[in-house]
Amino acid sequence: MARRPGLRRVVLVGGGVVVAAFLAIQLVPYGWSHPNPPVVRDAPWPDEESAAIARTSCYDCHSNETDWPAYSYVAPMSWLVRSDVEEGRDELNLSDWDADADEADDAAEEVEEGSMPPSQYTRIHRDARLTDDERATLVAALEQMAGDDG
């Protein structure tokens, strides 16, 4: 008659499977590289304040000056960060203004609505949260840049 495995054994085997799976996903290459290509032309922020707000709240995903956090080297977080940065740069790259100036209007809208920066990001990066004043400053700057460049 087969004996039911003891709890100790279940925990050991279960724990081993979790550790093995964690190690195995580290072998997936996606997320290994953390590219910061050269800045082509930085967005022409009208003043220091709006530039500083954007650098804190947008540049990790929307520029070539991403500050890759330690957890971005560990799967599965590395996959999420990599895909956010890839998609973010694709939509709006503040380091390549000549290519993306026409996005300024859209960016002002996203910020005004509160869709950007994304809440899953500001939950971890609390300094990237926008106060009402910061939001207004950033929206005004983006609108001005849309008028100048777009």
Residues that bind ligand HEC (CB under 6 A): 57-58, 60-62, 84, 87-88, 91-92, 103, 106-107, 110-111, 116-118, 121
Question: What's the min distance (Å) between Cβ of 104 and ligand HEC?
Answer: 8
The answer for residues whose C-beta is within 8 angstroms of residue 91's C-beta and 6 or more apart is 62, 103
> What are the angstrom distances between the C-alpha of 87 and each of 1, 41, 60, 97, 112?
57, 19, 12, 16, 20
Beta carbons of 61 and 116 less than 8 angstroms apart: no
In sequence order, what are the residues at sequence separation of 6 or more whose Cβ sits closer than 8 angstroms to the Cβ of residue 39? Answer: 63, 64, 65, 95, 96
3-state helix, strand, coil in the chain (%, to 5): 65, 0, 35
Closest-CA residue to 129 (of 64, 56, 51): 56
Closest to ligand HEC by CB, 19 or 34: 34
Nearer to ligand HEC, 1 or 140 (CB): 140
Q: Among residues 60 and 96, whose Cβ is nearest to ligand HEC? A: 60
Name the residue nearer to ligand HEC (CB basis): 31 or 88. 88
Q: Closest separation between CB of residue 98 and ligand HEC, Å?
A: 17
Rounded to a whole number of angstroms, the minimum distance from the CB of residue 38 to ligand HEC is 21
At closest approach, how far in Å is the CB of 109 from ligand HEC? Answer: 7
CB of 89 to ligand HEC, least distance (A): 9
Residue placing its CB nearer to ligand HEC in the complex, 75 or 93: 93
